[in-house]
A and B are shown apart, each in its own frame.
Chain A
Amino acid sequence: MSLARAVNPNENETSTASETVVMVQGLSKVFKDFWGRPKAHAVNNVSFQVRRGEVFGLLGPNGSGKSTTVKLLLGLLNPTRGHIEVFGRSTRHVATKRRIGYLPEESYLYRYMDSAETLDFFGSLFNLPSGERRQRIEQLLEMVGLDKVRRRTVGEFSKGMQRRIGLAQALINDPDLVILDEPTSGLDPIGCREVKDLIVELARRGKTVILSSHLLADVEDVCDRVVIYYGGKIQAMGTLKELLSTPDRLRITMPVLERETLERVLATIRADLGRKFSETEAQESVLVDCPSQNLESYFLDVVKKARSGAEETSGAVSGGTVARYLRSEESERVQAKDRILERLASSKEAPAEAPAPEKKKEEASAVDASKKLSALLSKTTVQAPAEPSAVKEASPASPQSEQRQENLKKASEKLSGLLGNKGNK
């Protein structure tokens, strides 16, 4: 679409007509009072485009215009100025909405309906045949961990559970474009991780995801490109790599060295730097520390261990498998390999396991199986992930890394059971 190119001439990346999913040009939204006087300039001359398969982040502090932009994209608000196209159509085009899934920032669900009814209702709006609807409802409820509480009304749910069912309704139509407004708001760390893994999984299937959030970690974990809003205007836009990399700095991560060896390495580095900088600058610009695990990884680790002796819960349980109809072929392949290895591994290792419920054994063997699969698939792994990945540079272009493989598996099967490290991309 030539228009899409014209919209944002500063972007270097090429795009074809078929790839542009959302095109926003000169978009402004002014909220007015009863008398028509301008009250708030929520969005001010914003332009961007989102391409197919991208995870696109709208980042900004509260009240910066992210949610207003999302509502404009969905046709819930009319632009004061500017132009929006979604799949090449107006935001009011009814048939286009068949391809969109939306999770709002709050739970706007009918409180008197239970989970299954809620999904059934939204499925009916997509004219899904009843058989297919039922199938998807089952898969989605399992995916968001609410299959055990399907008969409880949404009004009785905690905020996190409402978020989960909200996410499920956004995916009932297997959308090509998923718009998620603060998707992790109100979710526990496991839920957050599941949502992020799901986003990665959706993107892998070629789905486009627009993620609006003020939580930097969410955006950083999953987004390919972001725009940063402030005061209704775009302050920065680009890929995370473009925005976050500091080309004049270098970080090396390795196992702990002997003190003497470390001193020698540092002396060499400082001597090299001393040629360019003053002695003090050379001293101060080299930092050595032990990378610490971030809280999210640590929490997930603890939960993973605790789950082996898990108690019954009346709330949402950790989500299960990504709904079959939402999975990518790649994840299906990985899963198929997993299952073979799982059988092989469990037949050997099961007797060594401590007595535990059968499901837990499966989970444990899945972990082992995934490790084996990782080993098989990543012969060129540079380094075993002895440290938490939070201190490593995430590299979306290195599919061989063990971390990557583990995340792929995590997203496609036992989403929460196999968590431990951060960084999906």
Chain B
Amino acid sequence: MKPILAIAKLTLKAAFRFRIVALLALFLVVSVTALPLLIKDDGTARGFVQILLTYSMGLTVTTLGLATLWLSCGILARDIEDCRIQLVVVKPVARWKIWMGKWLGILILNAMLLGASGLVIYGLLEYRGGKLNEDQKFVLENEVFVARGSAKEEAVDLTQTVEEIFQDRMKQSSLEDVDQAQLKKQIFEMLKHQFQLVPQSMMREWDIPLGVNPAELKDKPLYLRTKFIAMSHKSTFEDTRTFPMFWEVGPMDSPQSWRVVMMMTPNVFHEIEVPPNLLDENGHLQVRFINNQNETFYFDVNEGMEVLYRQGGFLANYLKGLMILFCWLALLAAIGLSASSFLSFPVASFFAVSVLILGLSTGTMNQVVEEGGIVGVDSRTGKVEQQGVFDHISVFFFKELKNLTEVVLNFSPVELLSEGRTVTWWMVCKAVGQVVILVGGIFVALGVYCFSRRELALPSGGQG
């Protein structure tokens, strides 16, 4: 372990003595401080958090991410090109230890810089949050500076209903030539759609199990987070109308039920504060929407209704969010080091940035997979009609890459923090497992393998 630590320390020394740390720290501190001053928020708690937390954190992660890639490529590739590594590998240290030492050094550096940036952002949040008016302070305290758990309605199993309808249809008409699987899928989509629609004069009820002991939430307010679409508008995204929406929360027909009418705009998320102690004895919350408008509303099964409840404080949540961000940086460091294990510094940097861009091109990946290829997409069907070998290979490649990318990007700590949602320890463990150990492990294995086999004293600087 001592050699690994010695190499990690050496990496840190290099970063400090070449003033990389000072420059990066200065840039980060200045930018996270200046950004909220340059971009005006709308004076609300949400607007303020959007800028300070989302943008500043995004800038920090982007800066640190690119710096990590550059540093990790340089720290090994430069050592190899300048032959310094020769003096290290002739010592009794296995090459994997040298590699891990470099990685550890970059991780420590990242932890320091991310911690410093996180501290500045947190300080600014506290400082500027204190300057909001009382109403917005209340919103901030209850909706942002908090770790809130989330609960949604359990998914309804439509399989039985789909099967019944399918059998009924089969009896009614001869459907032997029809693709039965496709028909069942259509029936399922139709049912799901009906399930999400609330026509005029109809009611939609959500029974949401919070999964906690009701006593734990005694006297604590709950928040309904909802979003809907008004179906009559030709373009849902341009709908700026407002509707008086009638909500009832609590056990059905109970005098304790809480009712409210709120003016709401379609296509945006609304949070409704619900008085405490409305859970039933099983810890379920019943929410009803009564449509008394001359309109049909659509509540998406995933985004339509969600209950948020207080679980803990912001600071611990914030730290857990930073830990997930740190996992991403660890992966980037592994990518950079892995590239420099078999490439020269400029080529390794290019390679690492290409991997990053490819990994972030989820839209393109989805498109290729959905269209079934890259060339010759039929404009009517939106699919490649005659798939060639190249299409098959590209679909396979992008599908696997998409799966891998999802494993990494399936975390959104900044979004969770800005919405005041809990970043659970499970999420942190999952990020460590998936991002660092699983995907990072692939790059670590590749890097260590290449570095161990590489001839480090070739006349061309070691490119083998």
| In the complex, chain A residues whose CB is within 8 Å of the CB of B10 | 110, 113, 121
Whether B315 sits at the interface, judged by CB under 8 Å, is no
Complex CA distance for A124 and B13, rounded to whole angstroms: 15
A82 to chain B, nearest CB (A): 15
What CA separation (Å) do A109 and B2 show in the bound complex? 20
Docked-complex contact A125 and B91, CB < 8 angstroms: yes
On whether the beta carbons of A109 and B90 are closer than 8 Å, the reply is no
Measured between C-beta atoms, what is the minimum distance from A144 to chain B in Å? 16
Any A CB within 8 A of the CB of B457? yes
B91 touching A126 by the CB < 8 A rule?
Answer: yes
Residues of chain A within 8 A of B87, CB atoms compared = 102, 104, 108-109, 122, 169
A77 x B455 contact (CB < 8 A): yes
Q: Which of B83, B84, B455 contacts A78 (CB 8 A)?
A: B455
B residues near A75, Cβ cutoff 8 Å: 89-90
Most buried by A among B10, B13, B92: B92
Return the contact of B86 from the options A97, A100, A104, A113 (Cβ within 8 A): A104
Q: Would you call B6 and A112 a contact (CB within 8 A)?
A: no
Give chain A residues whose Cβ lies under 8 Å from the Cβ of B2.
124, 127
Q: Tell me which of B6, B18, B83, B84 contacts A125 (CB under 8 A).
A: B6
Residues of A within 8 A of B83 (CB): 104, 106, 108
Contact with A along B446-460 (1 / 0, CB 8 A): 000000000111110
Docked complex Cα distance between A127 and B457 (Å): 25
Whether A125 lies near B14 (C-beta < 8 A) is: no
Most buried by A among B9, B84, B86, B457: B457
Of the residues B7, B18, B82, B88, contact of A112 by C-beta under 8 Å:
B18
12 contacts between A and B (CB under 8 A): A40-B459, A76-B457, A77-B458, A94-B94, A102-B90, A108-B83, A108-B86, A109-B87, A117-B13, A124-B6, A126-B92, A169-B87
Q: Which 6 A-B pairs rank lowest in CB-CB distance, beginning with the nearest?
A: A124-B6, A76-B457, A112-B17, A125-B91, A97-B92, A71-B457
The interface residues of chain B lying within 8 Å CB-to-CB of A277 are none
CB 8 Å contact bits of A297-330 with B (1 = contact, 0 = none): 0000000000000000000000000000000000
B79 CB to closest chain A CB (Å) equals 9
Q: Decide: A113 and B91 in contact? CB cutoff 8 A.
A: no
Contacts of A121 in B (CB 8 A): 6, 9-10
Chain B contacts for A97, CB-based, 8 A: 90-93
Chain A, residue nearest B83 (CB): A108
* Nearest A residue (CB) for B17: A112
Q: With the chains together, A112 CA to B90 CA distance in Å?
A: 21
Which chain A residues lie closer than 8 Å to B82 at the CB level? 108
Query: Does residue B58 face the partner (Cβ distance < 8 Å to A)?
Result: no
Within 8 A of A (CB), among B1-20: 2-3, 5-7, 9-10, 13-14, 17-18
**Cβ B94 vs Cβ A113 within 8 A:** no
Known: A108-B84, A108-B86, A113-B13. A98 touches B455 (CB 8 A): no
Task: State which residues 421-464 of B face A: CB under 8 Å.
Answer: 455-459
Q: List chain B residues, Cβ under 8 A from A71.
A: 86, 457
- Alpha-carbon gap, A280 to B87, bound state (A): 60
Given A76-B455, A76-B456, A77-B458, A110-B84 contact (CB < 8 Å): yes
Chain B: which residue is nearest A71 at the CB level? B457
Give the interface residue-count category, chain A. 20 to 34
Asked if residues A112 and B14 are in contact (CB atoms below 8 Å), the reply is yes
Q: Does A168 sit within 8 A of B, measured CB to CB? A: no
The reply on A4 being an interface residue by CB < 8 A is: no
Return the contact of B93 from the options A76, A110, A125 (Cβ within 8 A): A125
Residue of B nearest to A70 (CB): B457
| B92/A110 in contact, CB under 8 A | no
CB distance from A400 to the nearest CB of B (A): 40
CA distance A112 to B88 in the complex (A): 16
**What residues on B are CB-neighbors of A169 within 8 Å?**
87
Minimum C-beta distance from A42 to chain B (A):
9
- Asked whether A203 is an interface residue with its Cβ less than 8 Å from the other chain, the reply is no
B:339-358 near A, CB below 8 Å: none
Answer yes or no: A95 CB below 8 A from chain B CBs: yes
Cβ B86 vs Cβ A76 within 8 A: yes
Q: Which residues of A have CB within 8 Å of B5?
A: 124
Within 8 A of B (CB), among A124-181: 124-127, 169, 173
CB-based contact B92/A31 at 8 Å: no
Of chain A, the residue at the smallest CB distance from B84 is A108
Selected from A31, A76, A106, A110, the residue in CB contact (under 8 A) with B90 is A76
- By beta carbon, the residue of chain A nearest B10 is A121
- B93 proximity list for chain A (CB < 8 A): 94, 97, 125
**In the assembly, what is the distance between CA of A391 and CA of B463, in Å?**
49
Closest to B6 in A: A124
A113, B17: Cα distance in complex, Å = 9
Cα-based distance from A97 to B98 in the complex (angstroms)? 15
Instruction: List residues of chain B with CB within 8 A of the CB of A125.
Output: 3, 6-7, 88, 91-93
What's the least CB distance linking B104 to chain A, in Å? 14
Residues of B within 8 A of A104 (CB): 83, 86-87
A74 proximal to B (CB < 8 A): yes
Most buried by B among A117, A124, A127, A169: A124
Once the chains bind, are B455 and A94 in contact (CB under 8 Å)? no
Q: Which residue of B lies closest to A78 (CB)?
A: B455
Q: Residue of A at shortest CB range from B3?
A: A125
Cα distance, A108 to B91, chains bound together (Å): 14
Contacts of A122 in B (CB 8 A): 87, 91
Chain A residue with the shortest CB-CB distance to B5: A124
The CA of A100 and the CA of B458, in the complex, are separated in Å by 21
Bound-state Cα–Cα, A106 to B93, Å: 22
CB distance from A114 to the nearest CB of B (A): 10
Chain A, residues 81-102, CB within 8 Å of chain B (1/0): the string is: 0000000000000111110101
Q: Write out the residue numbers on chain B whose beta carbons fall within 8 Å of the beta carbon of A110.
A: 10, 13-14, 84
Whether A127 and B86, one on each chain, are in contact in the complex, defined by CB atoms closer than 8 angstroms, is no
Residues of B within 8 A of A40 (CB): 459
Which residue of chain B has the shortest Cβ distance to A31 in the bound complex? B459
Closest to A72 in B: B457
- Complex: A54 Cα to B83 Cα, angstroms: 28
In the complex, how many angstroms separate the beta carbon of A113 from the nearest chain B beta carbon? 7
- Least CB separation from A113: chain B residue: B13
Q: Which residues of A contact B456 (CB under 8 A)?
A: 76
Q: Which of A43-82 contact B (CB under 8 A)?
A: 71, 74-78
B458 CB contact (under 8 Å) in A31, A74, A106, A124: A31
**Cα–Cα distance between A108 and B82 once the two chains are bound (Å):** 7
Digitize B69-112: 1 where CB-to-A-CB distance is under 8 Å, 0 elsewhere: 00000000000001110111111111000000000000000000
**Beyond known contacts A121-B10, A169-B87: 16 more, CB 8 A cutoff:** A40-B459, A71-B86, A74-B86, A100-B90, A104-B83, A108-B82, A109-B87, A110-B10, A110-B14, A110-B84, A112-B13, A122-B91, A125-B6, A125-B7, A125-B91, A173-B91
Smallest Cβ-Cβ distance to A110: which chain B residue: B84
- Which residues from B are CB-within-8-Å of A94? 92-94
Q: A112 — nearest CB in chain B belongs to which residue?
A: B17
Distance to closest chain B CB from A120 (angstroms) = 8
What A residues does B94 contact at CB under 8 A?
94
B459: chain A residues within 8 A (beta carbon): 31, 40
Give Cα A40–Cα B86 distance, bound, in whole angstroms: 21
Residues on the B chain within 8 Å of A106, using CB: 83
CB within 8 A of B92: which of A98, A108, A112, A117?
A: A98
Expressed in whole angstroms, the Cα–Cα distance for A67 and B13 within the complex equals 30
